[in-house]
C-alpha cells in the first residue's frame, strides 16, 4: 500500500511562488512515475506535470510551461512542484499521484495513476 501526503499549499498573491511537496510512504522500494494534477469545483481534475522514475524526464501541461517545475528526491521519497509566477487561475486543489502499475509512457490522464494524495489547496489572489 502506497500513501501520498501533500503539503505546501496556501495563500499567495499573483506573481508569487509556492513549492508543493508530496511525500511517498509504504511500498517505496521502487520509485514510481509521479504526477501533479489540479481541480477546481465543478470541473474535471486536470493534468499539471509528471516525472519519470529517475527524474530524468519531465512533462508539463501547456498552461504551466516555463512557470512550474516538477522534481523528485528519491532518497527522501518526495516529489516537488515549484510554482512560480502564480496567477489567479492557478487557484485549485493540487493532487499528487503515483503510478504503481507496470509500464506506460504517456502518463497525462487521471486513469494513468492508481494512488492519490488528499490534495492541498492553493489560492492565488490578484
* Contact in structure between 52 and 32 (CB atoms under 8 Å): no
Please give the pLDDT value at position 28.
65
Please give the pLDDT value at position 121.
98
pLDDT single digits (tens) 18-53: 999 999 998 765 789 999 999 999 999 999 999 999
Cell of 58: 519531465
Please give the pLDDT value at position 26.
86
Q: Quote the CA–CA distance of 126 and 80 in Å, as a whole number.
A: 24
pLDDT tens by residue, the chain, 126 residues: 899 999 999 999 999 999 999 999 987 657 899 999 999 999 999 999 999 999 999 999 999 989 999 999 999 999 999 999 999 999 999 999 999 988 778 899 999 999 999 999 999 999
Q: Quote the CA–CA distance of 111 and 106 in Å, as a whole number.
A: 11
Q: Quote the CA–CA distance of 92 and 123 in Å, as a whole number.
A: 7
Cell of 74: 528519491
Cell of 53: 522514475
Amino acid at each position: 500500500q502506497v500513501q501520498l501526503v501533500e503539503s505546501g499549499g496556501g495563500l499567495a498573491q499573483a506573481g508569487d511562488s509556492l513549492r508543493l511537496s508530496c511525500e511517498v510512504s509504504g511500498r517505496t522500494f521502487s520509485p514510481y512515475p509521479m504526477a501533479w494534477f489540479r481541480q477546481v469545483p465543478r470541473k474535471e481534475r486536470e493534468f499539471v506535470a509528471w516525472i519519470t522514475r529517475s527524474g530524468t524526464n519531465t512533462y508539463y501541461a501547456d498552461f504551466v510551461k516555463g512557470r512550474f517545475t516538477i522534481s523528485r528526491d528519491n532518497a527522501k521519497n518526495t516529489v516537488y512542484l515549484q510554482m512560480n509566477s502564480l496567477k489567479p487561475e492557478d487557484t485549485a486543489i493540487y493532487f499528487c499521484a503515483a503510478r504503481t502499475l507496470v509500464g506506460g509512457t504517456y502518463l497525462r490522464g487521471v486513469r494513468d495513476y492508481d494512488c492519490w494524495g488528499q490534495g492541498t489547496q492553493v489560492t492565488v489572489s490578484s
